[in-house]
Amino acid sequence: MATVITEGRRSSDWLKEYEHDYSVEEVVIAAGSGVVESGTVLGKVTSTGKYKPVTVGASDGSQTAAGILMNTVNAAADKPAVIVARKAKVVHQGLRYGADVDTAAERAAIHAALGALNPPILVREGA
Please check whether residue 57 lies inside any domain of the structure: yes
pLDDT of residue 10: 64
pTM of the model: 0.90
Q: Could you tell me the CATH number of the domain that includes residue 39? A: 2.40.300.10
Nearest to 68 by CA among 78, 57, 53: 53
Please check whether residue 10 lies inside any domain of the structure: no
Please check whether residue 41 lies inside any domain of the structure: yes
Please check whether residue 31 lies inside any domain of the structure: yes
Query: What are the Cα distances from residue 54, in Å, to 8, 67, 123?
Result: 27, 9, 16
Domain enclosing residue 60, as ranges: 15-124
Please check whether residue 8 lies inside any domain of the structure: no
For 32-59, the pLDDT digits (tens) are: 999 999 999 999 999 999 999 999 999 9
- Count of structural domains within the chain: 1
Please check whether residue 53 lies inside any domain of the structure: yes
